[in-house]
Amino acid sequence: MATTNQTFRLSKRSKIILLIIGIAGLVAYLFCNRLPCICGKIFNNTKCKEDHYIEGKVYMDKGNDAIKDSFERNIRVKCNEFIVDPTHPDAQKYRDSLKARCFKNIKNCDCTPAFELWANPDGHPIDAGTVASNTMLGRPFGATPGGLMPNLVINLNPGPELKDPYNLDSFNSTSILCNLNSPQQNGMIIAIVDTGIDTLTDPNLNWLHTFNWNKFHATDRCIYNTSNFGLKLLDPKLEPVDSLGHGTAVNGVSSGASLPNYKDLYLDLSFLNVGIFDANSNSCTLFNALCGLNYSIHQNAKIINISWGFDFNPKDEFLKQSVEKTITDIITSAPHILFIAGLGNDSVYISSYRSFYPACLAANIDNLMAIGSLSWNYQDLAGFSNYANKEIMTLSMKGDRIMSTYPDFLLQSNPGPVVGHRKMVSGTSFSTPLVSRVAASFWIRNNSLTPAQVKKHFINYLDPTAVQSNLRPGLTIRTLNINQISGLVCSPPILNPLILY
């Protein structure tokens, strides 16, 4: 049986057609790569929704930095909104890349570093990792993290809301039993970057004014600010009115108006309130948070209280490094300021695998303290509190069942357990400002110390009494309760670890 070999051959016409298609594809690729803005308008009709999500991974570990499990979780960001750090060596490359994609610089922070917000709400959704990779040609070895970040959505996540005033007998108080070593120079400024402050001035409706609470604002640094109570970042022309209650409660703890708390006759504090959260929601953006921290630094605050944070574990490790570097740079650029941040309320172990910024960076930043929450009876960590090893978690203090000041109009609509004009709240949000207050009491008696030395004193004073957690087996924690405050404040500075025999 004969066989024939048949060779498939293209006609000359077919070859010409394929050649034209190939050339057209190459031209389209080069065109879209060089001019993605125009290309997107021609070929893409998909537009941004209000928010967008990028891929993330959450690691669960056993509490000893050993991975136990992991799962996927998307991370909420503002669609097609990116933050450019103008101090980054590749900042101009990122700007050019964003311009080519029809992005526009819509807003800058008023204080340096003047972070830039770039947006393209009408364009096809794109993530920051793609832009960074294309800009840096795949981010070759040695590319510096930072420069470009997604505009994350940060949700306020307080502890459990309690409906019944249990354990009111735990609302004890104490007093500082030592004098000043030297006269205090002016009032110490604590900046509270949060949801704002109750602006009522009637002490019958706002109990802050019955506890020596003093407002602070500045009009000549970065932003011309005419408000009396601080700054509303979203609209500097308005007062930073607290429509969520969180910031007012934080002020109540740090000013001594909460229960439990302590009295210090020598403590002269002024509070700068910087409202960064949206009045109509419990969220803000990373851009607003960065701008709020910058503004507080420029107002010469001695302590910046951060009773919020965010978990950011994207699959793109370069983005994580970028956000981490940016926050680290902000805090370390102000070594004269003590930053005190809550560790969060998700009941999870914070480590190199599970972040909660900025508190999770405390192990490597000398002027940053990370605060967990003790339970109402001081016996152990509160069940809601995040936790970490002693290198990250500086200490834990009571943040469970705190009675603190609250805006009167919010009490009317959602009273809960109320004593006077105080509402019961819980969370590391409220253990954090109590530590801010204690730090201020110690610092005015030792005003030659640096923030890093103040942090060292807390660590070295509390280390000998560190305890094993029953709730979190294997975890050693430093704890500070109300009855220990006077001893810590009145002790001479302990700048080296105590040697126990």
CA 478/CA 498 separation, integer angstroms: 14
Look at residue 355 and tell me whether its pLDDT is greater than 90: yes
Q: Domain containing 185 — which CATH number?
A: 3.40.50.200
User: For all residues of the chain together, what is the average pLDDT?
Assistant: 85
CA 25/CA 41 separation, integer angstroms: 17
- CA 139 from chain centre, in angstroms, equals 27
Compare 405 and 139 and report the one with higher pLDDT: 405
> Can you give 144-199 as a three-state secondary structure string?
CCCCEEEEEEEECCCCCCCCCCCCHHHCCEEECCCCCCCCCCCCEEEEEEECCECC
Same domain, residue pair 396 and 464 = yes
Q: Classify residue 495: in a domain, yes or no.
A: no
Q: Classify residue 8: in a domain, yes or no.
A: no
- Taking the CB of residue 16, how many other CB atoms lie within 10 A of it? 11
Q: Classify residue 271: in a domain, yes or no.
A: yes
Q: Classify residue 174: in a domain, yes or no.
A: yes
CA 327, 332, 337 angle in degrees (round to 5)?
110
CA 39/CA 61 separation, integer angstroms: 45
Is the distance from CB of 43 to CB of 60 less than 8 angstroms? no
Same domain, residue pair 203 and 346 = yes
Q: How many domains does the chain have?
A: 2
Q: What is the largest CA-CA distance in the chain?
A: 115
> 19-45 pLDDT, tens per residue?
777 776 666 655 555 555 655 555 455
Is the distance from CB of 263 to CB of 173 less than 8 angstroms? yes
Compare 267 and 141 and report the one with higher pLDDT: 267
Record the pTM.
0.88
Same domain, residue pair 178 and 84 = no
Q: Classify residue 18: in a domain, yes or no.
A: no
Query: Which segments of 245-346 are extended strands (E)?
Result: 261-263, 269-275, 283-285, 303-306, 338-342
Radius of gyration of the chain (CA): 27
> 93-111 pLDDT, tens per residue?
999 999 988 999 999 999 9
- CA 92 from chain centre, in angstroms, equals 27
Domain boundary among 122, 153, 184: 153
Sign of dihedral through CA atoms 442, 332, 277, 425?
A: negative
Q: Which residues pair with 357 in a beta bridge?
A: 310
DSSP reduced 3-state for 438: helix
> 218-262 pLDDT, tens per residue?
766 788 778 889 999 888 888 999 999 999 999 999 999 998 999
Torsion of CA 486, 489, 491, 494, to 10 degrees: 140
Kind and range of the H or E element at 405? strand 402-405
Helix, strand, coil abundance in the chain, percent, nearest 5: 30, 25, 45
- Taking the CB of residue 124, how many other CB atoms lie within 10 A of it? 18
Angle between helices 246-255 and 428-444 (to 10 degrees): 30
Alpha carbons within 13 angstroms on the beta-carbon side of residue 237 total 0
| pLDDT at residue 372 in the model | 98
Same domain, residue pair 247 and 316 = yes
Same domain, residue pair 73 and 212 = no
Mean pLDDT of 191-204: 92
Beta pairing, strands 188-194 & 269-275: parallel
CA 423/CA 335 separation, integer angstroms: 35
Same domain, residue pair 191 and 295 = yes
Q: What's the domain range around 465?
A: 168-490
Look at residue 144 and tell me whether its pLDDT is greater than 60: yes
Compare 172 and 4 and report the one with higher pLDDT: 172
| pLDDT at residue 13 in the model | 77
Percent of the chain's residues with pLDDT above 90:
53
Angle between helices 128-135 and 317-332 (to 10 degrees): 90
> 44-89 pLDDT, tens per residue?
556 676 677 777 766 555 555 555 555 566 888 999 999 999 999 9
Compare 195 and 47 and report the one with higher pLDDT: 195
Per-position DSSP letters for 249-271, written without gaps between them:
HHHHHHHT-SBSEEE-TT--EEE
CA 116/CA 121 separation, integer angstroms: 16
Same domain, residue pair 179 and 262 = yes
Q: Classify residue 124: in a domain, yes or no.
A: yes
Tokens, residue 88: 């980054």
Same domain, residue pair 146 and 186 = no
CA 160/CA 167 separation, integer angstroms: 15
Compare 279 and 479 and report the one with higher pLDDT: 479
Same domain, residue pair 181 and 134 = no
> 290-342 pLDDT, tens per residue?
999 999 999 989 999 999 999 998 888 888 999 999 999 999 999 999 999 99
Q: Classify residue 465: in a domain, yes or no.
A: yes
At a CB cut-off of 8 Å and minimum separation 6, what does 448 contact? none
Burial class, 386, CB count within 10 angstroms (exposed 0-12 / middle 13-18 / buried 19+): buried
Domain boundary among 119, 153, 187: 153
Q: Which of 445, 450, 428, 438 is nearest to 480 (CA)?
A: 438
> 251-301 pLDDT, tens per residue?
999 999 998 999 998 999 999 999 999 887 889 999 999 999 999 999 989
- Taking the CB of residue 182, how many other CB atoms lie within 10 A of it? 10
Same domain, residue pair 172 and 311 = yes
DSSP reduced 3-state for 427: coil
Domain boundary among 121, 153, 185: 153
Same domain, residue pair 223 and 353 = yes
> 380-397 pLDDT, tens per residue?
999 999 999 999 999 999
Same domain, residue pair 339 and 436 = yes
Is the distance from CB of 159 to CB of 427 less than 8 angstroms? yes
Q: Classify residue 39: in a domain, yes or no.
A: no
Residue 12 pLDDT level (bands cut at 50, 70, 90): confident
CA 188/CA 266 separation, integer angstroms: 11
